[in-house]
Structure 1
Amino acid sequence: MPLSESQLQTMVSINDTVSPEDVADIYLPLVRLVHLYYESARQLYVATSAFLGDPAQKVPYVIGIAGSVAVGKSSTARILQALLVSRAVAPKVDLVTTDGFLYPNRVLQERGIMHRKGFPESYDRRRLIQFMVDVKSGLPNLSVPIYSHLIYDIVDDQVQVVDRPDILIVEGLNVLQRGGQPSRRPQLFVSDFFDFSIYVDADETLLQEWYIDRFLRLRNTAFRDPSSYFRRYSELSAEEAITVARRIWREINWVNLRQNIEPTRERADLILEKGTNHTLEHVYLRKL
């Protein structure tokens, strides 16, 4: 095991559970698979550049991770990042979440879509696509806005710098989505820039249960912070908190899951399917 149990716990989200057995049985084989794909892609890129007489420059291998709210995408992304580094698959592995490309709250409020936060229209898709173009162009020192779940908004004057990593992991709700309005002009999507993609899946009943559980835990922790956007929820009774969490899930997160997230499941190269207690029960790999 390249990760101790204490290290593993620092990577797992508040309502998630990942066992050492999951790491040994699922994540380590996944890292070996990614290593094979990464090396093959790198060799092909070098060979193509030589064929064209164009000196090869460093272009990151991009892994996309998608899935519902509360399914454990962030845990998967952080564990995968740590294992790729610890197993020396690549010297430098960066992780970016698409939360940083959400419009600031003031913009969402101006457009009347604050209640649609997390839906495709709540993201600055042009800026996100430009970031992916720049990544695959091998450009250095790219800036990514930082999102705070505590204040529920973009943090002013703070950025994450992405400087030509060997592997870049991009994690977000809708990163595998395609579609939109018909257009005569070619359309680009975030997923067009992925070399490998993962969808973290679970039954809707479990997702709702995990979301409510996370809400209750945050009610007793982060929501109590005076600077928390959700400070008002910390005063709710357990019964009131469950009612509020269930309503938010039903009116927002479940709608987004059904309309935008779940339909992208079959587009992934690999699906990690979770069962009770977040246990990884099935792995589906696209062969072709």
Structure 2
Amino acid sequence: MKKQDTLSPYIHFDRKDWAELRSSTPLTIDEDDIKELKGLNDELNIEEIVDIYLPISRLLHLHASATRELYESRNVFLQTNVKKVPYIIGIAGSVAVGKSTMARVLKALISKWPNHPKVDLLTTDGFLYPNEVLKERGLMEKKGFPESYDIAELLHILSDLKSGKGRVEAPVYSHITYNIVPSRTQVINRPDILIVEGINVLQPPKNGGGKEIDQISVSDFFDFSIYVDADEKTIFQWYIERFKLLRGTAFRNPQSYFKKYAHISDEEAFQVAESIWNRINKVNLRENILPTRHRADLILRKGEHHFVESIKMRKI
């Protein structure tokens, strides 16, 4: 049921009420698409698309259209002709919570809006410092923490895009080698919609920084932001399940950073994954990621079966 709490900046929806907001938004993907879109240990079906993602798609379409009208009105006011700039959507949340699946689904749905916008997806993994730099700075055990990212580079790229620059290049990350791919870039060239996905994209600006760039956050460039949420114990279980599945897939690649874990037992895999979670991911979630949850425009709360159970939408 939709709830209006006067002390909360959010409107609360249960799954049933949220699903009704789909209205006449058409279903434009099928079961074959779903197989391509879902993550390794994520769950996704047509019901989730219809009940959760189609209302989100409709909401984003309304917001993007209104923002375009605002840009045009500002051009009239300033007597300028600013070039097209992308509508930027940020997606945040813990490791293993399903952000990547959500980003891919939204990209697929948005690209099939009536005006067929050009949609690009940018993940912040590409802005992690190379392992050589992280080792030099003693940050390998804090990979994924805010300080492990080249935030200045990400801010420059987003600033260029929002300033109307036509073509930018972003670094690329490999989950096989667990490192930045040398001499390889992702080209982003005038998208209508840009989805930026990453665990820490809703981080506030640095505290006490004297430089102008220290007063700017990545989310300052977002037009809309989404936080994918779940209970910590549930996310931990998903992380363990994914780690075990990776032993028979990515870890078997000879180039894999984690190839030494490819043939360990289930018990050993649990112990390794639990150690990594407790040392790194749990700490990062509690100290950096979770505190940014209420900076989002939309919070999607997942249950233990990976499906969204409730939604919070920021009031206007």
- TM-score w.r.t. the length of structure 2 is 0.89
In 2, Cα distance between equivalents of 1:201 and 1:154: 27
Q: Of 70, 74, 83, which residue of structure 2 is paired with 1:48?
A: 74
For 1:5-52, what per-residue CA distance to the aligned partner results, in whole angstroms no more than 9, with x for missing partners?
121121111011112101001101111100110000000100111111
Q: Of 144, 168, 171, which residue of structure 2 is paired with 1:145?
A: 171
In 2, Cα distance between equivalents of 1:177 and 1:19: 31
Q: Please report how far the alpha carbon of residue 236 of structure 1 lies from its aligned counterpart in structure 2 after TM superposition.
A: 1.2
For 1:82-101, what per-residue CA distance to the aligned partner results, in whole angstroms no more than 9, with x for missing partners?
00012235520110000001
1:182 is aligned to 208
Matched, 1:112 2:138: yes
8 Å contact kept, 1:65–1:198: yes
Q: CA RMSD in A?
A: 1.0
Q: Of 207, 231, 256, which residue of structure 2 is paired with 1:203?
A: 231
Q: Please report how far the alpha carbon of residue 267 of structure 1 lies from its aligned counterpart in structure 2 after TM superposition.
A: 0.6
1:5 is aligned to 31
State which drifts further: 89-98 or 179-188: 179-188
SS of aligned partner of 1:82: helix
In 1, Cα distance between equivalents of 2:81 and 2:270: 58
2:60 is aligned to 34
The one-letter amino acid of 2:121's match is: L
8 Å contact kept, 1:90–1:166: no
Q: Of 269, 279, 284, which residue of structure 1 is paired with 2:307?
A: 279
Any unmatched runs of 5+ in structure 2? 1-26
The one-letter amino acid of 2:50's match is: A
Q: Please report how far the alpha carbon of residue 180 of structure 1 lies from its aligned counterpart in structure 2 after TM superposition.
A: 2.5
SS of aligned partner of 1:235: coil
SS of aligned partner of 1:174: coil
8 Å contact kept, 1:50–1:56: no
In 2, Cα distance between equivalents of 1:70 and 1:203: 12
SS of aligned partner of 2:72: helix
Any unmatched runs of 5+ in structure 1? none
In 1, Cα distance between equivalents of 2:179 and 2:114: 35
8 Å contact kept, 2:82–2:164: no
In 2, Cα distance between equivalents of 1:95 and 1:220: 27
Matched, 1:61 2:87: yes
> Which portions of structure 1, spanning 4 or more consecutive aligned residues, are displaced by more than 4 angstroms?
none
In 1, Cα distance between equivalents of 2:79 and 2:113: 33
Q: 1:156 to 1:184 in 2, by over 3 A?
A: closer
8 Å contact kept, 1:35–1:89: no
Q: Please report how far the alpha carbon of residue 149 of structure 1 lies from its aligned counterpart in structure 2 after TM superposition.
A: 0.3
1:253 is aligned to 281
Q: Please report how far the alpha carbon of residue 179 of structure 1 lies from its aligned counterpart in structure 2 after TM superposition.
A: 4.0
Q: Please report how far the alpha carbon of residue 183 of structure 1 lies from its aligned counterpart in structure 2 after TM superposition.
A: 3.2
Q: Of 96, 104, 115, which residue of structure 1 is paired with 2:122?
A: 96
SS of aligned partner of 1:17: coil
8 Å contact kept, 2:225–2:297: yes
